[in-house]
Amino acid sequence: MDLTGTLAKIKNNGTVHLGHRDNLLPFSYLSGDPKPMGFSTDLGRWSSRR
């Protein structure tokens, strides 16, 4: 199957760009560092490794 759109970009570049909101506890927020944290961030990192 030929990929198009976003999936084709991911395959060609080998990168995934994740966006997040910084004030939507517990799904996404900024830690004191400030570093993105939360369930959405964890899920994005996990799915991009697969």
Task: Report the predicted TM-score, pTM, of the whole model to 2 decimal places.
Answer: 0.65
Residue 18 has pLDDT above 90, yes or no: no
Q: Which of the 8 DSSP states describes residue 29?
A: E
Sheet harboring 23-24: ordered strands across?
23-24, 28-30, 36-37
Residue 17 has pLDDT above 90, yes or no: no
The residue behind tokens 């199957």 is: 1
- Owning domain of residue 44: 5-49
Q: Tell me how far apart the alpha carbons of residues 36 and 29 are, in angstroms, rounded to a whole number.
A: 6
Pairing of strands 28-30, 23-24: antiparallel
Supply the pLDDT for residue 27.
94
Q: Tell me how far apart the alpha carbons of residues 23 and 46 are, in angstroms, rounded to a whole number.
A: 21
Number of domains in the chain: 1
pLDDT digits (tens, 9 = 90+) for 27-48: 999 999 999 999 999 998 898 8
